Structure formats: C-alpha cells, structure tokens
Amino acid sequence: MRFIQRVAVAAVMAGLAATTAANGAEPSPLIEEAATADLNRKIADNNVALDAGEKAKQEAYERQVKQQQTLYQQQKADYARQVEEQKVAYQRQLEEQKAAHQRELEQYEQQVKSDAINQAPSPAP
C-alpha cells in the first residue's frame, strides 16, 4: 500500500514538474513540499530498514549469548555430576578397602590366638 502511495505521489509530482517546466514557470512551493515529504519518507523508510537490520543483529547476538549460556550451564552440570560420581566411587572404594583391612586384621587376630593356644603347655596328667 505504501509503495502505491509513493508511486502515485511521484507520478503527480512528475506531472506537475513537467507542466511547470513546459510553461516555463518556477516550481511551486506545493511541488517542493511534496518532493521534500517524499524524500523524508524515503529517508524514514531507510532508517526503519537500518533499525530493523540492527535489531536483527542484536537479536542474533542475544540468541548466541543465550545458547552459550545454556551450553555453559549444561557443561557445568555435567562436570558437577562427574565430580559427584567420582566422589561416590571413591567413597565406595574406601569402604571396600576398610572392609578388606578389617578382615585382614580379624584373620591376623585369629592367627595370633591360634598360635597362642598351640604354644600353651599341655596340662599335666
């Protein structure tokens, strides 16, 4: 719709300019105002287009930052999960080592008791 309006205004201005030039008269202030208004509209449209381009760039940048933040949060969560898994595995290994050490200690105590019984003097008959 806006394009049609511009074409119509341009056609009217061209017609007036041609008529004015054919008559040898100076362009009227109305023609100059219409030309200025059309030029201002074109400038405003260009500014809108530039603003839209800048807005699109800003939105793309913000999307990229958000994606990077999401990726960072995922990596951070993965790392925290890995650390927790490693802690659990370490605790399990530690408990297994304690249990094995306790079994060895009990076996050693049993051996000492058995040796003490075997070395005790026999009761006299």
pTM of the model: 0.46
| 47-60 pLDDT per residue, tens | 787 788 888 899 99
Q: What are the extents of the domains in the chain?
A: 2-108
pLDDT of residue 51: 81
Mean pLDDT of the chain: 82
Taking only Cα atoms into account, the Rg of the chain, rounded to an integer number of angstroms, comes to 47
| 106-125 pLDDT per residue, tens | 999 999 888 878 776 666 55
Determine if residue 122 is left, alpha or beta; phi over 0 gives left, psi from -120 to 50 gives alpha, anything else beta: beta
